[in-house]
Amino acid sequence: MDLGLKGRTALVTGGAAGIGAAIALELAREGCDVAIVDVRRDEKAEASLAAIAAAGVRATFHTADVRDFSLAERTVREVAAAAGRLDVLVCCAGVTDDALSWKMTEAQWDRVLDVNLKGCFAYCRAAGALMKDARAGRIVNIASINGLRGKFGQANYAASKGGMVALSKTLARELGKFGVTVNVVAPGMVRTEMAAVLPPEVIEKAVDETTLGRLAEPRDCAAVVAFLCSDAARHVTGQVVQVDGGQYL
Ligand SMILES: NC(=O)c1ccc[n+]([C@@H]2O[C@H](COP(=O)([O-])OP(=O)(O)OC[C@H]3O[C@@H](n4cnc5c(N)ncnc54)[C@H](O)[C@@H]3O)[C@@H](O)[C@H]2O)c1
């Protein structure tokens, strides 16, 4: 199916690795020029950038911490100015810093909320303003099923991801009449660096929770994001799409 994304411009936060890199590549394969925003520019980031460029589209990298509010505004404007447009924003940058709630420090709480929720708001705010003026746009925010169901040891992370859902629904209401859709993809556990640090028994438990008997690969999330960014999804907004193999039914 042609998703109608050829010639569009997408900005993907957290696109250096994992799910974000898979999303950036999928959008590139659909013909989008892609700007990656990420705090790390290591070998994985270079590989992600090279894969996008190999798809025959324009690939740019912007080193930025998504917590930096004014840098978010500048980066979004820079990407849009260079391309002459900004059609798609995917907020995928995220971190975990787990602890039981009674042991969690203020610093752990603040870091996870700041990266996951404030960072998402910073980019949505800046991109949403441009899309509103252009009267078109697609925003997809990557939350988690743990933001819907809660998760033992993840008070900060679950709150940040639940906050992203509420933020996205609010933006969908505010931006709808300007032709901008805002949706959420909520993955279950996905095979990335974020999951690789977990003890084997936690990963086994997650596999057991799924009805499909396996964890997602990053590309499973990317395919759904690409659909939500497409013309085919023009009437879908304010929705949370779980990509979790039935992990949270
Ligand atoms: N892996 C999973 O099981 C899983 C499940 C559900 C949701 N998610 C969500 O998917 C997203 C991607 O996760 P992943 O598994 O690919 O993780 P990952 O650690 O492989 O990639 C996350 C990316 O975000 C970037 N990043 C982190 N902090 C940043 C900051 N302050 N500013 C800019 N960039 C920053 C990292 O450098 C990295 O490139 C996250 O939002 C995560 O919460 C992951």
d(CA 227, CA 90): 12
Name the residue of 75, 90, 92, 164 to mutate for ligand 1: max ligand atoms within 8 A of Cβ: 92
Ligand 1, CB within 6 Å, residue ranges: 13-14, 16-20, 38-40, 65-67, 92-95, 115, 119, 142, 144, 187, 189-190, 192-195
Neighbours of 2 (CB within 10 A): 10
Atom 25 in ligand 1: residue holding the nearest Cα = 14
pLDDT at position 195 is 85
- For range 85-106, the mean pLDDT: 98
Task: Provide the H-helix boundaries in 84-231.
Answer: 106-113, 119-134, 146-149, 155-175, 193-196, 200-209, 218-229
Please determine, for residue 129, whether its predicted confidence score (pLDDT) is greater than 90: yes
pLDDT digits (tens, 9 = 90+) for 26-53: 999 999 999 999 999 999 999 999 999 9
Q: Which of the 8 DSSP states describes residue 215?
A: P
Buried b (16+ CB within 10 A) or exposed e, 217-244: ebebbbebbbbbbbeebeeebbebbbbb
- For range 107-111, the mean pLDDT: 98
Band of pLDDT at residue 197, cut at 50, 70 and 90:
confident
Domain locations along the chain = 9-243
Token pair 């993840």 is found at 154
Mean predicted lDDT score pLDDT of the chain: 97
Name the residue of 111, 114, 194 to mutate for ligand 1: max ligand atoms within 8 A of Cβ: 194
pTM over 0.95: yes
CA 33–ligand 1 middle distance (angstroms): 21
The pLDDT > 90 percentage for the chain reads 97
CATH code: domain 9-243 is 3.40.50.720
- For range 65-72, the mean pLDDT: 98
pLDDT digits (tens, 9 = 90+) for 55-68: 999 999 999 999 99
Q: Which of the 8 DSSP states describes residue 240?
A: E
Please determine, for residue 176, whether its predicted confidence score (pLDDT) is greater than 90: yes
Chain centroid offset of residue 58 CA: 20
Neighbours of 33 (CB within 10 A): 22
123 is a catalytic site residue: no
- For range 102-121, the mean pLDDT: 98
Residue of 86, 157, 184, 206 with catalytic role: 157
